[in-house]
Structure 1
Amino acid sequence: MGGEKPSNTPSTVLGRQLGDELRTMREHAGLTTADVASGLDCTKGKISRIENGRTPVRSPDLAAMLRLYAVDDPATTARLTELARAANKRRRTGWWNEYGDVLADTYRDFIALEAVASSVRTFQSQTVPALLQTRDYARALSVASRRWKQPEEIEQFVSVRLTRQNRLTEDDPLSVWAVLAEGALRQQVGGPSVMRDQLDHLARMAAKPNVTVQVVPFRVGAHASMAGPYVLLGFPSDTALDVVLVDNPSGSMWLERAPEVEVYVDLWNDVRTKALSPVESLELINSIKECGT
């Protein structure tokens, strides 16, 4: 996941995610932008800009829109309110903002979305997913990335990674479905001892009811997801759209439009069916741990 220092260009992914949901709710309510503008005593242009993610949504406007759309579910209201706060960078209050010096805007947006997501589906070709990493494994990756020069910056980034994992043990925990290439289990990140502990941790996490781990063995050969890792975030509301984060050497890229997301949903469904079952995957993980290679 990209962790380079922030750029000066603000990301609008959070605003667009919120705008897409509000547009879908408006359409389900059978209202036009003119109807909503009349209800909020504003222009149609403002409603369009909100739905396109170009204008932050103030709390009173969000509350008024949800009333117009007959949305009264407390959980949905709370989630959209948090998303609106995160989308407006001037009012962001999430814990991740304490680490602004070592986190890219894209990564901070990802954590903000992850905080309100209900599910993560990810394919990883070279590394164990961040939510399932041990401290020593995460540190070894951070050192090897060469993105930070100072030890304190590395430790800050590792702390962020571990804090994200709290979502797996909350009362309403995040659901994680991770598919890993076999090479990710055999790459000696941090050395044999670190890797042994990491594989042991991965096996323990795979036993949790909200975590599924599958491995694509070498014998599968070529498959469509070999181009690189990706993460699909899903949200609890039926009106919410999935988003995709794709890593590349120069950083990370968001994909939000339905046709783009559908490409990765298809990739995901293909790779999970090619992978070993969770039980077979656990057997392979333990076998690699015992062999030490």
Structure 2
Amino acid sequence: MSSPHRSAARIQIGTSLRRMREELDLPREHAAEVLDCTVTKIGNIETAVSGVKYAELEKLLDLYRADEATRDDLLGLNTDANRRRRRSKRGGVIVPWLRRILDVEASATEVLYSSFELVPAVLQTESYARALMTAVGLTEEALEKNLELRLGRRALLTDRQPPLKLWAVIAEPALRAGIGGPEVMREQLGHLLAMTERENVVVQVMPRGAGAHALTGTTLTLFRLPEGLPSLIGVDMPYGDNFVDNPAQVEKTIRWFDFTRTKALGVEESRELLIRITEETR
């Protein structure tokens, strides 16, 4: 059986390769010709059924005209997945791990989210996301490109068919955090309220004073993936998500999430609190 780290890496590589191929409108047959392999193998790589050799990955990245930062990120991830460490270059306008998170998210059918500090990326307004990115030092072109990429995630909830299902538990302090100032937070809270009117979006608020729960202090995302792929847990870190796919850990995390949402306010109570916090944000 593949190790959890290896499988998580394969999923990230596969979803990124599929996204790049589809952006160029290339059929799998074209990629198969380049690798001199079957179309089935290309499909297996994209769905993480099998891994990809370093030389094969290089050829695919050449075919898909990947930029230097993406090449270095995926080649380094692939090498690390095979337990052979490789020095990683730095640089590039787009933060590579952010691109990989989006590729995994775009493949997901459902996302479970819990955070004490942040609104999930797919629900962030431009001003809120800009404030967060500015706080970590992004400026000028890098800021604008990464902001565009993050805001593109919102379309998964509204434009994709079928749309991504989201169940988010957000702690009350995150809604009172003052990120970007009162105007930014009011806009963000208003957007949250509007999105809760969609059938595919559920937002619950963990009120102050609710006490401890298994996910206290953790920003965590669980991605449910299609096509027989294992679910992935993304634990938010300053330099990207740490993905875990160990079945026992995934199952435990689902139980933790279920317990967490039972401690949170119900959907209507959460909307009422969101409205009240919005009115109090001055």
TM-score (norm 1): 0.68
Counterpart for residue 133 of structure 2: 142
Equivalent residues in 2 for 1:169-208, closer than 5 Å: 169=158, 170-208=160-198
> Which of 165, 175, 180 pairs up with 2:154?
165
Give the CA deviation at 1:60: 4.9
Question: Cα distance 1:16–1:113, how it changes in 2: closer, same or farther (>3 A)?
Answer: closer
Is the 1:120–1:174 contact (alpha carbons within 8 Å) kept by the matching residues of 2? yes
> Residues 167-191 of structure 1, C-alpha deviation per residue, up to 9 Å, x if partnerless?
1122211111111000010011111
Cα offset for 1:109? Answer: 2.1
SS in 1 for 2:154: helix
- Tell whether the 8 Å contact from 1:119 to 1:235 is kept in structure 2 after alignment: yes
Alignment partner, residue 47 of structure 1: none
CA 1:191–1:91: 2 relative to 1, 3 Å: same
Q: Report the Cα offset of residue 270 of structure 1.
A: 1.4
Unaligned runs of 5+ in 2: 1-5, 15-34, 71-91
Is the counterpart of residue 261 in structure 1 residue 238 in structure 2?
no
CA-atom RMSD, angstroms? 3.4
- CA shift at 1:89, angstroms? 6.8
**1:109 and 2:86 aligned:** no
Task: Please point out which of 268, 277, 280 is paired with 2:269.
Answer: 280
User: CA separation in 1, counterparts of 2:175 and 2:269?
Assistant: 14
Contact 2:235 2:242 in 1 (8 A): yes
- Structure 2 length-normalised TM: 0.71
Distance (whole Å) between structure 2 residues aligned to residue 277 and residue 158 of structure 1: 32
Aligned to 2:8: 13
What's the CA shift string for 1:92-112, capped at 9, x where partnerless? 699997985244443322211
Q: Say whether the 8 Å CA contact 1:96–1:111 is kept in structure 2.
A: no
User: Residues 46-95 of structure 1: CA distance to partner in whole angstroms, max 9, x if unpaired?
Assistant: xxxxxxxxxxxx695452798xxxxxxxxxx9x839x989x957536999
Give the paired residue count.
231
Is the contact made by 1:99 and 1:156 (CA closer than 8 Å) also made in structure 2?
A: no
Asked whether the 8 Å contact 2:47–2:229 carries over to 1, the reply is: no
Q: Map 1:87-106; keep pairs closer than 5 Å.
A: 88=57, 91=60, 100=70, 101-106=92-97
Q: Contact conserved, 1:232 with 1:243, CA < 8 A, in 2? A: yes
Which amino acid in the other structure matches residue 126 of structure 1?
E
Kept after mapping to 1: 8 A contact 2:7/2:245: no
> Aligned letter for 1:196?
R
Matching residue's letter, 1:80? T
Is the 8 Å Cα contact of residues 11 and 47 (structure 2) preserved in structure 1? Answer: no
Cα separation, 1, equivalents of 2:36 and 2:265: 47
Residue 13 of structure 1 deviates from its aligned partner by 3.0
Task: Say whether the 8 Å CA contact 1:14–1:113 is kept in structure 2.
Answer: no
Listed as ranges, the gaps of 5+ residues in structure 1 are: 1-10, 20-57, 67-76
How far the C-alpha of 1:164 sits from its partner, in A, is 1.4
The 1:103–1:288 alpha-carbon spacing in structure 2 relative to 1, beyond 3 Å, is same
CA distance in 1, matches of 2:276, 2:65: 38
